[in-house]
Amino acid sequence: MSKVLVSDPIDQAGIDILSQVATVDVKTGLKPEELVKIIGEYDALMIRSGTRVTKEIIEAGTQLKIIGRAGVGVDNVDVAAATRQGIVVVNSPEGNTIAAAEHALAMMLSLSRHIPDANASVKRGEWDRKSFVGAEVYKKTIGIVGLGKIGSHVAAVAKAMGMKLLAYDPFISTERAEQLGCQLVDMDLLVQQADYITLHIPKTPETTHLINATMLAKMKPTTRIINCARGGIIDEEALATAIKEGKIAGAALDVFESEPLGESSLRSLGKEVILTPHLGASTTEAQVNVAIDVAEQIRDVLLGLPARSAVNIPGLGPDVLEELKPYMQLAETLGNLVGQLAGGRVELLNVRLQGELATNKSQPLVVASLKGLLFQALRERVNYVNASIEAKERGIRVIETRDAAIKDYAGSIHLEATGSLGTHAVTGALLGDGEIRLTNLDGFPINVPPSHHMLFTVHRDMPGIIGKLGSLLGSFNVNIASMQVGRKIVRGDAVMVLSLDDPLPDGILSEITKVPGIRDAYTVTL
């Protein structure tokens, strides 16, 4: 049975799902050196933001197939190291969107009305109504940095509260921003005009210290900043100084450069600063959502199925996966088949996506083809995560083409592999019930399902040849399950495709090619 390590607190709903397929150990608060020591036993690791999954931990995780982040941000995972090792990294892109957005909005209102300090004052026995006069958000300008899932929800609520909306997000279209009632502006204009600035972007090298002393200097003395995204997007020292010097009005922070927050000048500031201990995703609802979402993906991957929200499999989002799932197996089977037909070292793989597959969304099918192609060389070590890297490192050039005009089937995939021993091509499609059909082999039309043991021959179409091959296989005690001939013209060249009940014994291929009329023979195990 597989083993899963859960190293941060997650909802029981997730543990229940994992327990269906694995032994689950919940060990929270492990030191990095403790994690390195035990990770080698586990097939999967489930975390939140509390565990830093470094290269060292990943390299020690020799059995790891998947790292599941029960939340959004994967900046605490060395995704590049995981990818290299073929470990799929998944997250829950939407499970805590509302929780994080509501926390940012709660922070904005709390900051404006001094709620945390007013509450503490009353609890101390005071009745001070003068010190906590606040500001309204109505008709004020909110500058939303990052108009993704969380930023969009913040925009919708802020609009409903009567705020004017500015947004900075270089990857969002003007139309999308307008739909949300936001004016897209550059960062400079946003920081100059906004009364409230709220951050909803990932932490990347580009966004690290995006809010620094220079940016802070451009803000209004009445500006308040909210960061419920990631620590390190704001330069905390510069922020504390700007607040102390009255350059801006305040800040509400849920996330910090280093967590848990240690010594910090932010702690000594008054009601103009609110600090929460990374609570953005901490609602009952969000924790159930993310635990189920990620546990299901871990379960699927442990069962050999693809994950719907892998961050290191380009282009394979949940909607795309739903559409492509049946074709992924087709692409993989064809890749495996054409790789074996080509034999030797493959240098070039042409992937043509045809009919309804001729869209940009079908890029994962190229990855699946490569996974199949590399299977003979790498076996279980190749997967959707590392197939492209492995192919690149082996010098396999990949050419992708798309042809929507080829409509023999709703969608079909054509692969052509060129290697040291020549070029071979195979085409396949799915039937209505999702069954795979091989529809063309080296230019010859065929219509056969793939099977475990297959034999392909190229021969001259002439009487008696099929019988001779059958007798030869019989003499080696090989049973034929099915057989089909594909030809373009009568008595021209033809291919024979045989499904066999047994593997071909060693040495038989050379006997087959001695049969008069048979030019080539290939055996394939799928």
Ligand X SMILES: O=C(O)C(=O)COP(=O)(O)O
Ligand Y SMILES: NC(=O)C1=CN([C@@H]2O[C@H](COP(=O)(O)OP(=O)(O)OC[C@H]3O[C@@H](n4cnc5c(N)ncnc54)[C@H](O)[C@@H]3O)[C@@H](O)[C@H]2O)C=CC1
Q: Which residues are catalytic?
A: 230, 259, 278
Instruction: Kindly state the smallest distance separating residue 147's Cβ from ligand Y, in Å.
Output: 5
Q: Report the alpha-carbon distance of residue 196 to residue 111 in Å, rounded.
A: 10
207: phi then psi, degrees, rounded to nearest 5: -95, -5
DSSP state of 505: P
Indicate whether 33 belongs to the interface with ligand Y (CB under 6 A).
no
Among 86, 231, 280, 364, binds ligand Y (CB under 6 A): 280
Burial of 471 (0-12, 13-18, 19+ CB in 10 A): exposed
- Reported in sequence order, the residue ranges of 7-109 that DSSP labels E, i.e. its strands, are 22-26, 44-47, 66-69, 88-90
Question: Which residue has the CB atom at the shortest distance from ligand X?
Answer: 71
Distances from the Cα of 221 to the Cαs of 191, 192, 224, 247, in angstroms? 11, 10, 9, 5
Among 83, 85, 96, 388, binds ligand Y (CB under 6 A): 96
Instruction: Kindly state the smallest distance separating residue 32's Cβ from ligand X, in Å.
Output: 17
Among 61, 146, 339, 419, binds ligand Y (CB under 6 A): 146
Shorter beta-carbon distance to ligand X: residue 287 or 340: 287
Instruction: Kindly state the smallest distance separating residue 50's Cβ from ligand X, in Å.
Output: 6
Scan residues 250-309 and list those touching ligand X (CB under 6 A): 278, 280-282
Q: Report the alpha-carbon distance of residue 26 to residue 9 in Å, rounded.
A: 8
Indicate whether 8 belongs to the interface with ligand Y (CB under 6 A).
no
Structure tokens at 98: 């509302």
Structure tokens at 313: 């499999």
Instruction: Kindly state the smallest distance separating residue 282's Cβ from ligand X, in Å.
Output: 6
Stretch near ligand Y under the rule CB under 6 A, chosen from 93-101, 367-375, 376-384, 436-444: 93-101
- The length of the chain is 526
Other C-beta atoms closer than 10 Å to the C-beta of 347 total 14
What is the x/- site pattern for ligand Y, positions 467-496, by CB under 6 A? ------------------------------
CB burial of 2-24 (b: ≥16 within 10 Å; e: otherwise) equals bebbbbbebbeebbebbeebbeb
DSSP state of 257: S
Indicate whether 426 belongs to the interface with ligand Y (CB under 6 A).
no
480-487 vs 436-441, strand pairing mode: unpaired
Shorter beta-carbon distance to ligand Y: residue 169 or 390: 169
What is the x/- site pattern for ligand Y, positions 204-233, by CB under 6 A? --xx--------------------xxx---
Indicate whether 72 belongs to the interface with ligand X (CB under 6 A).
yes
Stretch near ligand Y under the rule CB under 6 A, chosen from 94-102, 136-144, 402-410, 495-503: 94-102
Q: Which residues make Cβ contacts (< 8 Å) with residue 10, sequence separation at least 6?
A: 46, 48, 70, 287, 290, 291, 294, 295
Instruction: Kindly state the smallest distance separating residue 270's Cβ from ligand X, in Å.
Output: 27
Indicate whether 49 belongs to the interface with ligand X (CB under 6 A).
yes
Instruction: Kindly state the smallest distance separating residue 91's Cβ from ligand X, in Å.
Output: 7
Shorter beta-carbon distance to ligand X: residue 278 or 459: 278
Stretch near ligand Y under the rule CB under 6 A, chosen from 169-177, 264-272, 328-336, 446-454: 169-177
Burial of 171 (0-12, 13-18, 19+ CB in 10 A): exposed
301: phi then psi, degrees, rounded to nearest 5: -65, -40
Binding footprint of ligand Y on the chain (CB under 6 A): 71-73, 96-97, 100, 145-151, 168-172, 200-202, 206-207, 228-230, 254-255, 278, 280-281
Binding footprint of ligand X on the chain (CB under 6 A): 48-50, 70-73, 96, 278, 280-282
